[in-house]
Amino acid sequence: MPLPPLLLLADSSPLFWRVEGRPFLDFVRVHTGADLRVPPVRAAYLGASNGDAPEFYEIFTAAMEGIGITRCRSIPAAPSAQDLEWLKDADVILLAGGNPRVGWDAFQAHGVDTLLRERHQAGAVLMGVSAGAMHLGTGAWCEDLPEEGEPFPVLGLTPFLIGVHEPADWPGLRLAVRRMGLPTRGLGIPHGGGVLLHADGSVEPVRQPVVDMSLDVEGRLHESLLLPPAEPYRGEPPNTPVDRRQLQ
């Protein structure tokens, strides 16, 4: 079975998006087999980037309840042994927004980064919101990159730098792509939008157009706009036609 897609969001609004009356997040239920699982699906929320603010965890549990997933746990920045055991078996994992450096330091300090890579390879559905979306890519940065240096390395589960809800000319993402150099590529996700990154390498914008950035061998930056498909992905079997945008 192919790995489920990664879901990268600029903010939490797409978690509650409905398509023709059906929750967009139904693809999570499909991939986890939530309707048939005994015991029920486990979901984990990582709020280290925002200081484990409870109000953001409540947004997560509300989104999960919308697709029938009720076994949820907030994994704090300094997790207990029981928290890590839950994470080791989690079927759905959301990396929350906030400060990407703070969140990443917490993940590394407690071995959460290793567990996230393991869960992804085991077929868990991973989702990232804002800073959490950056963590799923090749590198992350705070509001201002240092005068010298590159974005700090993160999970690398997708071969892109991820920029989220920046101004329209994407200054942070532009600088990050230039700093990283070839063969770096960047995806800029605006407010209200997201990206599904499929196991076959295809990129599917969610709700909003997404900017694709890359450098050529002469160091020139190129941009293109990726448009959402006519029919959003719903987790159907692989032989179901889906209009995706493939990056060559």
Cβ neighbours for 149, distance < 8 A, ≥ 6 positions apart: 179
Instruction: Find the domain containing 35 and state its range.
Output: 6-226
Predicted pLDDT at 238: 40
- Within 10 angstroms of residue 202's Cβ, the number of other Cβ atoms is 15
Cα-based distances in Å from 32 to 5, 40, 95, 97: 12, 10, 18, 23
Using the structure block, give the residue that is written with the tokens 């407690």.
110
Predicted pLDDT at 239: 36
Predicted pLDDT at 52: 97
Cα-based distances in Å from 111 to 48, 91, 105, 210: 13, 18, 10, 32
Q: Is residue 231 part of a domain?
A: no
Using the structure block, give the residue that is written with the tokens 């990206």.
195
Consecutive 10-residue averages of pLDDT for the chain (248 residues): 91 94 90 73 97 97 95 98 98 97 97 98 97 97 70 95 93 91 91 95 94 89 91 57 32
Q: In this structure, are strands 185-189 and 210-215 parallel, antiparallel, or unpaired? A: antiparallel
Q: Is residue 248 part of a domain?
A: no
Q: Is residue 185 part of a domain?
A: yes
Q: Is residue 183 part of a domain?
A: yes
CA distance 20 to 76: 36
The domain total for the chain is: 1
- Within 10 angstroms of residue 199's Cβ, the number of other Cβ atoms is 12
CATH number at residue 104: 3.40.50.880
